[in-house]
Amino acid sequence: MIPVFETLSGQFDQVVWVQSHGQDVVRVPVVDWYAFAEAAKGQGFEVCADVTAVDWMRMRPDRFEVIASLLSMSLGARLRMSTTVGRDEPSVASLTPLWPGAGFAEREVYDMFGINFEDHPDLTRILMPDDWVGHPLRKDFGVGSVPVQFKASHQVE
Amino acid sequence: MSDETNDPRTEIVDLWVAGSEEPEFQPTDEGAQEISAEETPDRLDVQFGRVIDDDYLYDDDVAEDERVIVNMGPQHPSTHGVLRLQLELEGEVIRRTKPIIGYLHTGMEKTAEELTFGQGPTNVTRMDYLAPFHGELAYSLAVEQLLDIEVPPRAAAIRVLMTELNRITSHLVALATNGMDIGALSMMIYGFRERESILAFFEKTTGLRMNHNYIRPGGVAADLAPGWKDDVGGILKDFPRRIDQYDDLLKENPIWLSRTKDVGVISSEEAIAFSITGPALRAAGVDWDLRKAFPYSGIENYEFEVPLGENGDVYDRYRVRIDEMWESLKIVEQVMDAMPKGDYRVGDRKITPPPRARIDESMEALIHHFKLFTEGFKVPPGETYAAVESPRGELGCYLVSDGEAIPYRMHTRAPSFYNLQALPIAMADSLMADTVATIASMDPVMGDVDR
């Protein structure tokens, strides 16, 4: 664990540090999401490389996991933050006030999973059409199928 | 036929002839060429276009009818695919920009949850279709991290060889389209011509010009074709002369310089804040390259430099790409000279298929082959993130497995997606004519943006 992580874990006693295939992952409670990100930015993580989410459906008590990959060019280190939000009206603080680069990524997560990001300046659908119903990357959203011209056609008389 | 006086046409004609009066002639100053006497010389410079008054603060007092909103795209040839920009113009100056994306969204992350780990590369290779090898490499590295396997040295070296050649072809397309958008049509012809010579080598090795599905979990799909050293040697011999030609064409070309210098500037602070990576970040002077910071596939064994720009304008991005082509040629030469012998994929038959000849003589090999291509291989539960330096920046793959043969979740961190966010910053208060130059210099691939 590099010294910066020890400083961070001293400030937040609720977070859990784990290693996943040699990568540093920190599990943050959803109430500390913004405060931890702000502290991490203060410790040198100047880039928010990615924000994404996973739908755990019935496999975990809290359905959605939101993941932010932070990158520090000065320290040459990566840190992956993750938090969990529940099934009903999932909501988490937006990181866009800290890193403007998180804006598109959070819009994508909102579009694909229906997770609300509080204080996001422009939380609208980004990839799907504006009038689309549902959130495609949720596990209960079917893949769907396209009608094919010949598959169910009648025999030629 | 009705009565002549009731015919409306007749009435109108009558009005014009008899009932109407000639409107009084009122001269306007529209189109007047005279310069009023109280103009200062500074003001005149601005009016004649010798000096561009670019120091503008957004002012709500500007009347409504002085602003025009123009939709550029999604079918504009200079937007590199189906990108749509909403531009708010005041005269010819862009005040605000909003990129609107999603026209090429095909749900490839959802598709990845339906394909086995072995089929995954066919999916990711179609995301960034100008750098297919990089997408395959990021995905394969993530799967290999979950499986906890290491590929043989020859496989790693082939991967570096292919991705670096791919970087050259991708930068050639960037240069070609950048030149085409600004009007240097010769550059377009040259870029696509030279790219074809490398694509011929790709076709010989992988069977396809693009969308190769060549780099797979556990190694690569096939060994290099016989005579590959002659092909790569030909590329190495040919390309220095070609790149010098591009410099002759563009480097000191006054038209090119005036269209690219101080245009679309992104400072280093803005680039970091907006998560920009790749040549656009390095053109702003930030020394950051994943090949140096977090090396993959043994790329740390080869000597190369990271070219940097200073101003972060369109010209610097063009220079960084040209210099990166030189560095990639250096890496390719080193890989060719030091290509290790051995297998091109791991020997674990639970992950990679057996050689074709073994299937005819071994029952076990046949079973392995059948199981691999029907069920696929199971990957232990876990999550990982693998990133490579693609021609556009950090191309990452976040992969979650729940122990089955298909990924539970696959997310691609697409560099073009993040780089596009900075377009409003780069284009604010610039001229409409510079829009296409700025877009082209960011080199977005819409397949990568929308996925």
ipTM of the complex: 0.88
Q: DSSP character for B287?
A: -
| pLDDT of B298 above 60 | yes
**CA distance linking residue B207 with residue A121, whole number of Å:** 47
Nearby residues of A47 by Cβ (< 8 Å), 6 or more positions away: A70, A71, A72, A73, A99, A101, B272, B275
| pLDDT of A66 above 70 | yes
Alpha-carbon distance B272 to nearest alpha carbon in chain A (angstroms): 6
Give the pLDDT score at B43: 61
According to DSSP, the residues that pair with A65 across neighbouring strands are A54, A84
Judge residue B123's burial from the number of C-beta atoms within 10 Å of its C-beta, 0-12 exposed, 13-18 middle, 19 or more buried: buried
Q: What is the pLDDT confidence band of residue B2, given thresholds at 50, 70 and 90?
A: very low
Alpha-carbon distance A155 to nearest alpha carbon in chain B (angstroms): 32
Give the pLDDT score at A157: 46
CA distances from B304 to A4, A66, B285, B334 (A): 31, 37, 17, 10
CB contact B398 to A (< 8 Å):
yes
If you average pLDDT over residues B364-390, what whole number do you get?
90
| pLDDT of A61 above 90 | no
Judge residue B13's burial from the number of C-beta atoms within 10 Å of its C-beta, 0-12 exposed, 13-18 middle, 19 or more buried: exposed
- The three-class DSSP label of residue B34 is coil
Reported pTM: 0.84
Give the pLDDT score at B188: 86
If you average pLDDT over residues B55-72, what whole number do you get?
66
| Strand arrangement of the beta sheet that strand B93-100 belongs to | B67-72, B84-90, B93-100
**CA distance linking residue B94 with residue B110, whole number of Å:** 37
**CA distance linking residue B79 with residue B445, whole number of Å:** 10
Q: Find the chain A residues whose C-beta atoms sit closer than 8 A to any C-beta of B.
A: 20-23, 25, 46-50, 52, 54-55, 59, 67, 69, 73, 76, 78, 80, 99-105, 108, 112, 125-129, 136-137, 143
Contacts of A100 in chain B (CB under 8 A): 273-274, 421
CB-based contact B102 A103, cutoff 8 Å? no
Q: Please list the alpha-helical segments (H only) found in B183-289.
A: 185-206, 228-246, 254-260, 268-273, 279-283
Contacts of B418 in chain A (CB under 8 A): 101, 104-105
pLDDT, tens digit, for every residue of B99-144? Answer: 888 888 888 998 898 899 989 999 999 998 899 999 999 999 999 9
Mean pLDDT, chain B, whole residue set: 84
| Residues B217 and B144 sit within 8 Å (Cβ to Cβ) | yes
